Chain A
Amino acid sequence: MIRTNLSTRPFYNERAVHALAALVAVAVLAVAAWQVVRIVSLSGLKTDLNTAIKKHKAETETRQRDAEAIRRGIDQKELAIVAAQAKEANELIEQRTFSWTQLFNLIEATLPDDVMLAAVRPEFKDAVTQINMDVQGKSTDDIQAFWDRLVKTGAFSNVLWSSTLFTDDGLNKMQMRAVYTPSQPSLQPASVKPMPPLAPPTLQAPLTPPATPKKESK
């Protein structure tokens, strides 16, 4: 048996070449198909986006025009006057609805025996209530005890003193100031109604039914 290949052109694996070509052909077809799908979807998306952009721009122009027209119709001077009046009215309502009974209940509960409250004056500014108090005690320890108890109620914060005086008869007088945030809603007479909101500034006033005062201990 002759085993020597006498051919000058040796054989190669044609099946493998065909298989490889088929594989490449399938890959090329797949990529082409993906490209076609991508072109269709991107074209659709682009059309949708362009439509949306046109729509947004048109609506933006309309809204801006309408807002301008509304603003032109507003008398700015009159608006400023109404806003100032509303602010003033709200501040008055806030003062009117302030509950002295609730404040006294709290102070009575915290006042040590040897401390006397000589004057109280609330101040209302920017929705913050500050209580100014003139107190006098037999010693600084008594006033310190009152101070600590005030803070512990949770209704008073940022307690500060502005002046203190040690009298000849041994009393310590002090002017205190604290931010007051009552936990319960304040009492309110039925005649005082809240103002509607105006932007800006915001008008607001809490409306709660009157409550009976805490039973007095003194």
Chain B
Amino acid sequence: MSIWQRAVVEKRRILLPLLIAIIANVVLYVVVVFPLGRQVASAQQEERAAREQLIRARQDYNSAKATVTGKQQADIALKKFYKDVLPPDQSVAQRLTYTRLAQLAKQANVRLEHGTNEISREKGSALSKLTTRYTLFGEYRDVRRFIYSLETAPEFLVLENIALSSNNEPQTRGVAMNLDIATYFRSGNAAD
């Protein structure tokens, strides 16, 4: 019997409980701690997935709510836009492009020489468009003043196009220009 074997045999009252404790620790780890760790890791993953799903569901809910709120706000703003900003009908729109533009031209010291009207409507739109093409004549700086007063006027007048008129005579002072000015008015439902 070697010296080690003798020591183990002689000290077995101490070493045996130690060995049992070591085995118990290993068993505890293998049976409880390790599987529990795996279960927690899996639960963490599941919790993360559930949280992400919840975030998406919240976003979806907020988006649905925002759609309703946005629609209500857009409805109110559109009604205000149609009622307060745009001319109510064709007659008012035509007066706008006739009387109002004549006033602005007079104030800016330019001469409106010729004007034509055209009414069009985009498919699916509730708005009709009145486009007035004017030929005006004046000094360049007065034309600029007219354009400025047009773009700062409270009425809904859209300057769409500016072109030098072909009637420009080299010897005359000032410029002749063609201006396309549009305004819009409500003429029916979009579904019409």
Contact = CB atoms under 8 A, between A and B. Distances in A.
A184 to B, nearest CB: 14
B36 A119 contact: no
Interface in B37-89: 37, 39-40, 43-44, 46-47, 50-51, 53-54, 57-58, 60-61, 63-68, 70-71, 73-78, 80-81, 84-85
B43 A49 contact: yes
Interface residues of A, number: 77
Contact of B57 (A24, A28, A64, A195): A64
Interface in A180-201: 187, 189-193, 195-199
Given A9-B6, A32-B28, A70-B65, A95 B60 contact: no
B71 A79 contact: yes
Contacts of B40: 42, 45-46, 49
B40 to A, nearest CB: 5
A50 B40 CA distance: 9
Given A66-B61, A79-B71, A120 B33 contact: no
Contact of B190 (A24, A85, A187): A85
Contacts of B39: 42, 46
A191 B162 contact: no
The majority secondary structure among interface residues of chain B is: helix
Interface of B: 3, 6-7, 11, 14-15, 18, 21-22, 24-25, 28-29, 32-33, 36-37, 39-40, 43-44, 46-47, 50-51, 53-54, 57-58, 60-61, 63-68, 70-71, 73-78, 80-81, 84-85, 122, 124-127, 140-141, 144-145, 147-148, 151-164, 184, 190-191
